[in-house]
Structure 1
């Protein structure tokens, strides 16, 4: 599912995000959403979230499961 639409993302969902440091390589990090940080309904680069694991912040590239 598309990670560019805020309504698609739920707290606790399993997602793949790209961390700021990994943007040049596109390396993805998988984790569960702890908090949604982007307030706008959409974002062209993905909705920014905070992952529960190790408090990592990044933009959602893909939603694995809700």
Structure 2
């Protein structure tokens, strides 16, 4: 899944995100979702989340589901 629907994302989910500073390069950061920051049900660039490490970015892909 690509992370564009809020309903697909839950705290603890293993994801790849793109950080704001990496949007041009497309570098992905792997981690686990702590908080979901996007309020709308969908977003064309990915749902914004905070990882357990404190990094904030938009979900590009979901790596595993519980």
Question: TM-score category by the smaller chain?
Answer: over 0.9
Q: How many residues align?
A: 65
Root-mean-square deviation (Å): 0.5
Alpha-carbon displacement from aligned partner over 1:29-48 (angstroms, at most 9, x marks no partner): 00000000000000000000
Instruction: Please give the TM-score of this superposition, normalised by the length of structure 1.
Output: 0.96
**TM-score, with structure 2 as normaliser:** 0.96
Instruction: Mark the runs of 5 or more structure 2 residues left unpaired by the alignment.
Output: none
Instruction: For residue 43 of structure 1, give the secondary structure of its aligned residue in structure 2.
Output: coil
How many Å apart are 1:16 and its aligned residue? 0.2
Q: Which runs of 5+ in 1 are unaligned?
A: none
Q: Is the 1:2–1:8 Cα contact (8 Å) retained in structure 2?
A: no
Per-residue CA deviations over 1:9-37 (Å, capped at 9, x if unaligned) read: 01000000000000000000000000000
Name the structure 2 match of 1:12. 12
Q: Is residue 3 from structure 1 mapped to residue 41 from structure 2 by the alignment?
A: no
